Amino acid sequence: MFDFWRRALFFPFAVLLLSLLVWATVGTLLATLFFSVSLLIHLVLHLRQLEALDYWLADSNGRAVPDGPGLWEEVFARLNRMVRQHRKEHEQRVAALQHMEQATSALPEGVAILDDSYHIQWCNPLAEQHFGLDSKRDIGQQITYLARQPEFVQYLAIHEFSEPLVLSGARQDGLTLSIKLIPYGGNKLLLISRDITHLERIENMRRDFVANVSHELRTPLTVVNGFVETLHDMPNLENSMARRALQLMGEQTHRMERLVDDLLTLSKLEDTLNVLQEETVDISGLLRSLHQEGQSLSAEKHGLRLELASNCALLSNADELRSAFGNLISNAIRYTPQGGEILVSWHEQGDQPVFSVQDSGIGISPQHIPRLTERFYRVDSSRSRETGGTGLGLAIVKHIASRHQARLEIASEEGKGSTFSIVFPASRRLPLRADEAIAT
């Protein structure tokens, strides 16, 4: 403060002293003139600095603070420091805001801030997607004006947010959202939306699966029950009729047994704790054994050939391969009429080992092919059941293939036949060493 006054008064005092000197030597008039002109020049210089400051204040955006001599030098230096500090703080705030925006954009949930009358104050990109918003256009709008599903509007109207709202058919087709609102800060609400379409689908699949299994078991159980009641009500039933009834009951219990076996196989394959036990499997040996089993299943009704074009072994699980390959061979036999041809082959496509079964059977029309590996999906249910099918065979094959990072390829033409191939990754191909091969 003292320094300020010392510098501020230095010039007027100097002028005053010089004027006194002029007064003593030259006279009053000239001294007064000298004093007045000097002070006027001093004032004009100050006003010019003030003008520069005013000009800068009117539009300081990005421009440097003006320079000035004397007193003004200190004032401008302080202003400069303040501006620099202010810009630094502003940049820090912008960076923090960007950081927050990036973090909320990366959130797997939609987040929006609403005021107490549900006007949108801010939202992240996922909330924009979930509610079909555009943050540039819709900030300040009431959310119920943009997302008008009656359940959502009612949920907000009731203002009871202890339970989340499950909203199906939100703006995007088939989207199911779980919406939660959390009041905070007295008059604000945090809206959190989560896409649970996938969970809903899994829940539906689980429900369908239970319904399908119950349905599959109910038919044979009804048949067995019917025969048991008949045998009970008619103790003097003719021997041949009783034997026939017992035979049919046996067939139905076998059917249930196969179904339960396949269900257990599927659940074992789906068990995440059940990791693939890998070994070197001699595919030629495995296929020779499966070929023999196939021939007895076919009972010489088909021309069943085995072609071993590759002698490579496979890093895989022998039991699982037996199940997958066996399923495909048995399907070819079951869906190929008498006299048809079936070719089982092991060959290589580039460096990828391939197992395939080609048949000249009934074939499959194209619209069914993408759904064949769904559980219980059958093109012709009665044929499948008549031939002892459970509807789970290809689901099992697909699981086993994916556990080996292999893909199941299906090519078929209705009335002409089908080819089912499992294409293994090259990394599973092994040169066969007799001492390593698993006996199959």
**Of 86 and 383, CB closest to ligand ADP:** 383
Part of the chain binding ligand ADP (CB under 6 A), chosen from 43-51, 107-115, 152-160, 392-400:
392-400
Q: Is 379 in the site for ligand ADP (CB under 6 A)?
A: yes
Shortest distance, position 94 Cβ to ligand ADP, whole Å: 59
Q: Following DSSP, what letter does each residue of 7-54 receive, concatenated?
A: HHHHHHHHHHHHHHHHHHHT-HHHHHHHHHHHHHHHHHHHHHHHHHHH
Nearer to ligand ADP, 203 or 380 (CB): 380
Which one of 76-84, 237-245, 295-303, 356-364 is the stretch in contact with ligand ADP (CB under 6 A)? Answer: 356-364
- Encode 52-88: b = buried (16+ Cβ within 10 Å), e = exposed: bbeebeeeeeeeebbebeeebeeebeebeeeeeeeee
CB of 373 to ligand ADP, least distance (A): 7
Nearer to ligand ADP, 110 or 361 (CB): 361
Residues 18-57 interacting with ligand ADP (rule: CB under 6 A): none
Name which of 191 and 372 has its Cβ closer to ligand ADP.
Answer: 372
Q: Which CB sits closer to ligand ADP, 214 or 365?
A: 365
In DSSP notation, 284-311 reads HHHHHHHHHHHHHHHTTSSEEEEEE---
3-class state of residue 160 by DSSP: coil
Q: How far apart (Å, rounded) are the C-alpha atoms in residues 371 and 364?
A: 11
Whole-number minimum distance, CB 370 to ligand ADP, in Å? 12
Q: How far is the CB of 418 from ligand ADP (least distance, A)?
A: 4
Give me the least distance between CB of 306 and ligand ADP, in Å please. 17
Please tell me the count of residues contacting ligand ADP according to CB under 6 A. Answer: 22
Spatial separation of the C-alpha atoms in residues 277 and 271, rounded to whole Å: 13
- Residue 120 is encoded by which pair of tokens? 């949108």
Burial of 305-318, coded b for 16+ CB within 10 Å and e otherwise, reads: ebeeebebbbbbbb
Residue 30 amino acid letter: L
Binding of ligand ADP at residue 393 (CB under 6 A)?
A: yes
Q: Which stretch binds ligand ADP (CB under 6 A): 139-147, 239-247, 306-314, 379-387?
A: 379-387
Q: Which helix (H) or strand (E) holds 413?
A: strand 407-413
Q: Residue 165 or 256: which CB sits closer to ligand ADP? A: 256
Stretch that binds ligand ADP, among 111-119, 139-147, 194-202, 372-380 (CB under 6 A): 372-380
Which residue in 340, 384, 401, 424 binds ligand ADP (CB under 6 A)? 384
The number of CA neighbours under 13 Å toward the Cβ of 424 is 25
- Residues found in the chain: 440
Residue 130 vs 375, nearer CB to ligand ADP = 375
> Is 227 in contact with 218 (CB distance < 8 Å)?
no
Q: Is 355 in the site for ligand ADP (CB under 6 A)?
A: no
C-alpha pair distances (Å), 86 with each of 81, 89, 90, 91, 364: 9, 5, 6, 9, 74
Rule CB under 6 A: is residue 356 a binding residue for ligand ADP? no
Can you read off the two tokens belonging to residue 233? 């009500």
User: What's the rounded Cα separation, in Å, for the pair 326 and 320?
Assistant: 10
Radius of gyration of the chain (CA): 44
Q: Kindly give, in sequence order, each residue whose CB lies less than 8 Å from that of residue 67, ignoring residues fewer than 6 positions away.
A: 73, 76
Q: Are 100 and 106 in contact (CB under 8 A)?
A: no
By beta-carbon proximity to ligand ADP, the closer residue of 146 and 266 is: 266
- Residue 331, interface with ligand ADP (CB under 6 A)? yes
Q: Which of the ranges 59-67, 227-235, 288-296, 359-367 carries the binding residues for ligand ADP, by CB under 6 A? A: 359-367
Measured distance CA(317)–CA(314) in Å, rounded: 9
User: Which one of residues 72, 76, 118, 335 is an interface residue with ligand ADP (CB under 6 A)?
Assistant: 335
Question: Whose Cβ is closer to ligand ADP: residue 22's or residue 259's?
Answer: 259
Of 228-236, 266-274, 315-323, 330-338, the window that binds ligand ADP (rule: CB under 6 A) is: 330-338
One of 120, 224, 394, 437 touching ligand ADP (CB under 6 A) = 394
Q: Which of 120, 364, 408, 430 binds ligand ADP (CB under 6 A)?
A: 364
- Smaller CB separation from ligand ADP, 214 or 387: 387
Give the DSSP letter string of 165-221: EEEEEETTTTEEEEEEEEEETTTEEEEEEEE-HHHHHHHHHHHHHHHHHHHHHHHHH
Residue of 46, 171, 194, 378 interacting with ligand ADP (CB under 6 A): 378
Three-state secondary structure call for residue 272 = coil
Q: Contact region for ligand ADP (CB under 6 A) — 112-120, 241-249, 345-353, 355-363?
A: 355-363
Q: Give residues in contact with ligand ADP (CB under 6 A).
A: 331-332, 335, 359, 361-364, 372, 377-380, 384, 389-395, 418
